[in-house]
Amino acid sequence: MSITTQQRKVAIICSHGGLDEAYPSLILANAARQSGIEAFVFFTFWGLDVITEGKVDHLHVNLAGNASSGMPTMLAGLPGMESFAASMMKKQMQELDLPSVREMLLILDESGAELFACELAMKMFKRTQKDLVPQVKDVITAGDFYDMAEGAQIIFT
C-alpha cells in the first residue's frame, strides 16, 4: 500500500508597497521555499510597487498614520521623514545582511517561487508587463489566483 503525500503549498498576497511592508511577503515566501513548500506571491494594488522596475529600489517606509512607528503623525508627515526612515531601515537591514527587495525577488525566482501581478491592479495603475521586474512570471486575475491557490494556505500581508 502506497501513501501519497500532497505537496505543501502557500499562496501569499502582497498588497502593500512600503519597504517595511514588502519584506513580510518576501521572507515568508523564502522561508517556505527553504522548507520545501511550494510558494507563490500575488502582488496587488500598492504591492505592485514591489515588483515594478522603476519603484523596487525606491520603496519608502509608511510612517504617517502607522501606530506602530512610534512617531507622532504630525512629525511622520513632515517632508523627508519617509525617506529618512527608509534609509535608516536599509542601514539596519545591511547590518543584518538582509538582501535588498530586488535581491529577494531574484532569490525567490531562483528558488522556484513564482511571482504574479494582479491584472486588475495593473489596469488601474496603467502598468504593463514591460514595467515589471523580470522575475514576474505572469499577470493573472483574482480568479486565476484562487485556482492556483487551491489546497494552499493563503497569507495576506
Residue by residue, DSSP assigns 96-116 as: TTPPPHHHHHHHHHHHT-EEE
Residue 71 lies in a domain: yes
Dihedral angle over CA of 9, 102, 13, 70, nearest 10: 120
3-state DSSP call for residue 118?
strand
Residue 39 lies in a domain: yes
Residue 7 lies in a domain: no
139 contacts 120 by C-beta, under 8 angstroms: no
Q: Please, what are the averages of pLDDT over each run of 10 residues along the chain (157 residues)?
A: 69 94 96 97 97 94 63 61 69 83 97 98 97 98 96 94
Task: Say what the pLDDT of residue 7 is.
Answer: 86
CA-to-CA dists, residue 39 to 35, 112, 117, angstroms: 10, 8, 14
Cell numbers that stand for 58 in this block: 525606491
Split into its structural domains, the chain has a count of 1
Task: Say what the pLDDT of residue 79 is.
Answer: 67
Residue 1 lies in a domain: no
108 lies in which domain range?
Answer: 13-156
Residue 34 lies in a domain: yes
CA angle 111, 116, 121 (to 5 degrees): 155
Task: Label residue 50 exposed, middle or buried (CB < 10 Å: 0-12, 13-18, 19+).
Answer: buried
Task: Say what the pLDDT of residue 94 is.
Answer: 80
Residue 137 lies in a domain: yes
Residue 3 lies in a domain: no
Residue 28 lies in a domain: yes
CA distance 83 to 36: 36
- Give the domain CATH number at 44: 3.40.1260.10
